[in-house]
Amino acid sequence: MSDELTDIYQELILDHSRHPHNFRTMDGPSRMVDAHNPLCGDTLKLYVRIENGRVVDASFKGRGCAISMASASMLTDRVKGCSLAEAADLFETMHHLLTGTGRPEPTDLGELGALAGVRHYPMRVKCATLSWHALKAALTEGEPAMVSTE
C-alpha cells in the first residue's frame, strides 16, 4: 500500500471516523450550524455552547466520509475550552493546514496534525474543511446558520 494512502487513512483518523467523539445533539446550544458539501451530499450539524466568551461544549451529528467524520470529531475535542479568539485562530491554522496555503507545523497541533495528509488530495480537502467552516460560522455573530463548502 502506498505511503500517501496510509498517510490520509492513518489509524487515528480511522478511529475517529469509526467511533466519532462528541457525536450527539445538544439541548439549547448557543449556536447550531448546518454544514453541507454539495459535491458529495455530506451534511453535518455542529453544536456549540458558549459561556463567558469560551466554548464550553461542542458536538456534532451527521453523515459523511471517513475524512469529514474524523475532522469533525477532532474539532469538537479540540475546541472545547478555547476562548472565542483561540477558536478563531484554530480555524485559520486548520484552514491553512488543510488547503496547504500556509506552513503550520502539524506537530504543534496534536491529533489535528493527522489531517494534514489531505493536502495531497485536492478532491478531498473540502471533506476535511466542512466542519471547520461550520465552526467559523458558529463563532461569528450574524453569520448564517448554514454553510456550504462550494
Partner 1 sequence: MGLDCAAESITAATPTARWDPGAVRSDFPALQQEVRGAPLAYLDNAATAQKPQAVIEAVARYYREDNANVHRAVHLLSARATAAYEGARAKVARFLNARSAAEIVFLRGTTEAINLVANSLGLQAGDEVALTHMEHHANIVPWQLQQAASGAALRVLPISPRGELEIEAVEGLLSTRTRLVTVTHVSNVLGTVNPIHEIVDIAHKRGIPVLVDGAQAVPHLEVDVQALDCDFYCLSGHKLFGPTGIGVLYGKAERLSALPPYQGGGEMIRRVSFEGTKFADPPQRFEAGTPHIAGAVGLGAAVGYLQGLDRVAAAEHEQGLLRYATQRLREVPGLRIIGESPDKIAVVSFVMEGVHAHDIGTVLDHKGVAVRAGHHCAMPLMDFYGVPATARASFAFYNTREEVDRLVEGLQLAREMLA
Q: What is the contact surface with partner 1 in residues (CB under 8 A)?
A: 1-2, 4-5, 8-9, 14, 17, 39-43, 63-67, 121, 123-124, 127
Query: CB 19 → partner 1: shortest distance, Å?
Result: 12
Question: In the complex, what is the shortest distance from the CB of residue 9 to partner 1, in angstroms, rounded to a whole number?
Answer: 6
Alpha-carbon dihedral 11, 36, 129, 2, rounded to 10 degrees: 40
Alpha carbon distance, N-terminus to C-terminus of the chain = 32
Instruction: Give me the least distance between CB of 66 and partner 1, in Å please.
Output: 5
Give the residue with the Cβ less far from partner 1, 50 or 60: 60
> What is residue 34's DSSP assignment?
E
Task: Rank residues 7 and 111 by Cβ distance to partner 1 and give the closer one.
Answer: 7
Say if CB 64 and CB 37 are below 8 A apart: yes
Contacts 24+ apart (CB under 8 A), 94-103: 94/129, 94/132, 95/129, 95/132, 98/125, 98/128, 98/129, 98/132, 99/125, 99/129
| Cell numbers given for 6 | 496510509
The residue (of 31 and 124) whose beta carbon lies closer to partner 1 is 124
Which of 103, 106, 130 has the alpha carbon at shortest distance from 117? 106
Shortest distance in whole angstroms from residue 37 CB to partner 1: 9
Cβ proximity to partner 1, 20 vs 29, nearer residue: 20
Q: Which is nearer to partner 1, 82 or 131 (CB)?
A: 131
Minimum CB–partner distance for residue 61 and partner 1 (Å): 14
